[in-house]
Amino acid sequence: MTVQPQHILTRRGFLAGSAAGASLIALHPYSAYAAANQAHLRIMETTDLHVHVFPYDYYSDKQIDTVGLARTAAIIEAVRAEATNAMLVDNGDFLQGNPMGDYIAYERGMKAGDLHPVIQAMNTLDFDASTLGNHEFNYGLDFLMKSVAGAAFPIVSANVVKTMGATAREDETLLRPYVILDRAVTDGSGGTHPIRVGLIGFVPPQIMNWDRRHLEGKVQTRDIVRTAEAWVPQMLEEGCDIIVALSHSGIGAAEHSEGMENASVPLARIDGIDAVMTGHSHLVFPSPTFDGFADVDSTAGTIAGKPAVMGGFWGSHMGLIDLLLERDGNRWKVVSSTSEARPISKRNEDRSITALVESVPAVLASVQKEHDETLGYIRRAVGKTSAPLHSYFALVADDPSVQIVSIAQKWYIAEMMTGTEYEGLPILSAAAPFKAGGRGGPDYYTDVPAGDVAIKNVADLYLYPNTIRAVKVTGAQLKDWLERSAGMFNQVTPGETDQILLNPDFPSYNFDVIDGVSYEIDLSQPSKYGPKGEVLNPEASRIVNLSHEGQPVDPAAEFVIATNNYRASGGGDFPGAKGDTIIFEGPDTNRDIIVRYIVEKGTINPTADANWHFKALPGTSVLFDTGPKAADHIGDVKAVTIEPAGDGPDGFARFRITL
């Protein structure tokens, strides 16, 4: 239903362009009064849905209020109800990113004529257009083309090219580069007029690296800004009144550089582009996140003076740009705008979440069948493990729950380094136990028996939705990285027995084990670093016999370490991981990489390779508390002499390690 807003709006109304008008726009962005020669157009955006339709976390197998197009749809419907002229676009990354996407790609498949559930859900909402995100390419071109074939709306992508022409305008693009929608707008006096809205889409050219195995020899990419400069004049020649860029690209540097991933600022600067819908970074714009970015007004919601928006991710927000248009001869032009990102939930002071909207039943219903099938999928085996996956001893010995993460990370990064200047450098992997007792209690451990592995188990192995990174470090930085990890342990007096091993102030997620090198930890030495990464004892050294392929690590040698975005950008304040050593930023979550590894390999072997252990200290023993079920796995632990030592506090079991 469409409410004719002018009845309401004349009472609240203002004259567009006046100072008073500007402040009223801010208060009531939907209530712009349009004069007879003016019209109001609201452009709504979803972005980075990643197959989230139901408000459901399939990894933890429970409902959540922070995600889901069914929830965003409630905001979309509300805006449509209050607007005379509204459009809805999606900014890409819809096909991949949760177990429903994996279920369709890995298990159900897409036959010609099949409807992909996220497309089905989008069809119910009557989208006007979408573009492709980088994750659309994750399952290959055949899967992508069959999926988008079901869309009841045009999908545009200007810089993915099947055959390169001499210039972009002579390219044969994979999908149409742009679309021009002929619509009617109702002006302030109730008259309707035609309007031509052009929509053009862009994806980071980096897809050629990220999905090389699917794309090489089949498509190529062009630079986002150069592609826009080629096509926008043609769209103007074809009579576009306004042009909206669907930029599946983040808000980054103001200056253009060839092939840049986050190109929305230089893109916005291009003449003829009136508004920029952004995404890819999974952030919210306008918001203080972008304070201080050159050519970006994070309060007004403009980039290079043009309206822009970024609607979070997984349906967390709906991005909204309100344009006030004015008749300019035979054309419409933008005279003012507002933008905002409307959330579907809010986080309270006690960190609990309150839903701000309810799901739209028609959207849920459109994918109910696939939702139910996905629940079956996450609960049944997708692969096998030849050894039990548990974390009971992850803090005292090399362990299978950490080993499998490193195996998968190394597998992925090795592929990404192929053909780069880093090919040939040793690839190591850093991973920490996430579920390792502590404040989580004596049951808070990963414990998957040998045999079947389900998707739900992967959440157990990798708790956080981090994304993959690679850093390049020196041998000296590598050693200090491990010194930082070794702060996990109290200092031990040689020759004394039953000393408490773990420092309770040190979170397990900062106990990085680095796979691909071997080393010992000398507990008789003080820790170089404190629990927050502060230097306590600059001369201290707990890491001994650090070696790579049997040779001592040269402090000047270079290594690639596979890790996650949290660590690589300074999380935990690790030496060699302060943001300046990143050489590769992957778009995939570490969790998705583990799923992909399991699905591809079928059977995985997570047996730990015992690449690290405590240095022998004759006559010395320590006590270590872990979950009581650890007793079943004591025989799995290599390179450490361990025996039960009664009960620990709070339901934990105590074990003695003889060093």
What are the residues binding Mn ion (CB under 5 A)? Answer: 48, 93
By C-beta, is 48 or 57 nearer to Mn ion?
48
Q: Which does 398 bind (CB under 5 to 8 A by kind): Mn ion, Mg ion, none?
A: Mg ion
Do the Cβ atoms of 564 and 465 come closer than 8 Å? no
Integer Cα distance of 251 and 490 in angstroms: 44
Candidate list 531, 611, 636, 645; residue touching Mg ion; CB under 5 A: 611
* Nearest CA among 439, 354, 347, 444 for reference residue 390: 444
By C-beta, is 343 or 400 nearer to Mg ion?
400
Binding mask 458-497 for Mg ion (x = CB under 5 A): ----------------------------------------
Q: Per the structure block, which two tokens stand in for 127?
A: 């989208």
Integer Cα distance of 252 and 46 in angstroms: 20
| Nearest-approach distance from CB 52 to Mn ion, in angstroms | 11
| SS3 state of residue 460 | helix
| Nearest-approach distance from CB 143 to Mg ion, in angstroms | 34
By C-beta, is 316 or 508 nearer to Mn ion?
316
| 499-500 and 621-626 strand pairing | parallel
**From 64-72, 81-89, 161-169, 604-612, span contacting Mg ion (CB under 5 A):** 604-612
Q: Which does 611 bind (CB under 5 to 8 A by kind): Mg ion, Mn ion, none?
A: Mg ion
By C-beta, is 83 or 203 nearer to Mn ion?
203
Integer Cα distance of 455 and 599 in angstroms: 10
| Nearest-approach distance from CB 92 to Mn ion, in angstroms | 8
| SS3 state of residue 357 | coil
Helix-then-strand count for the chain, H and E: 17, 41
**From 284-292, 403-411, 435-443, 465-473, span contacting Mg ion (CB under 5 A):** 403-411
Do the Cβ atoms of 91 and 247 come closer than 8 Å? yes
Is 636 a binding residue for Mg ion by CB under 5 A? The answer is no
C-alpha triplet 76, 79, 85: angle, nearest 5°: 110
Q: Which does 515 bind (CB under 5 to 8 A by kind): Mg ion, Mn ion, none?
A: Mg ion
Q: Per the structure block, which two tokens stand in for 132?
A: 């492709």
| Nearest-approach distance from CB 388 to Mg ion, in angstroms | 16
**From 23-31, 281-289, 415-423, 512-520, span contacting Mg ion (CB under 5 A):** 512-520
Integer Cα distance of 565 and 586 in angstroms: 9
Per CB under 5 A, which of residues 168..227 are in contact with Mg ion? none
Q: Per the structure block, which two tokens stand in for 12?
A: 């609240």
Candidate list 48, 65, 398, 522; residue touching Mg ion; CB under 5 A: 398
By C-beta, is 96 or 403 nearer to Mg ion?
403
Is the bond preceding 286 in cis, omega lying within 30 degrees of 0?
yes
| Nearest-approach distance from CB 431 to Mn ion, in angstroms | 23
* Nearest CA among 491, 446, 499 for reference residue 657: 499
Alpha carbon 204 to chain centroid, angstroms: 15
**From 210-218, 231-239, 514-522, 527-535, span contacting Mg ion (CB under 5 A):** 514-522
By C-beta, is 206 or 658 nearer to Mn ion?
206
Candidate list 322, 515, 522, 625; residue touching Mg ion; CB under 5 A: 515
The terminus-to-terminus CA distance of the chain in angstroms comes to: 74
Integer Cα distance of 115 and 112 in angstroms: 9
* Nearest CA among 88, 128, 123, 130 for reference residue 320: 88
CB proximity list for 438: less than 8 A, separation 6 or greater:
444, 504, 507, 508
**From 122-130, 390-398, 423-431, 467-475, span contacting Mg ion (CB under 5 A):** 390-398
Is 609 a binding residue for Mg ion by CB under 5 A? The answer is yes
By C-beta, is 57 or 93 nearer to Mn ion?
93
| Nearest-approach distance from CB 514 to Mg ion, in angstroms | 9
Q: Which does 261 bind (CB under 5 to 8 A by kind): Mn ion, Mg ion, none?
A: none
* Nearest CA among 338, 281, 269 for reference residue 305: 269
Q: Which does 93 bind (CB under 5 to 8 A by kind): Mg ion, Mn ion, none?
A: Mn ion
List interacting residues with Mg ion (CB under 5 A).
398, 403, 515, 609, 611
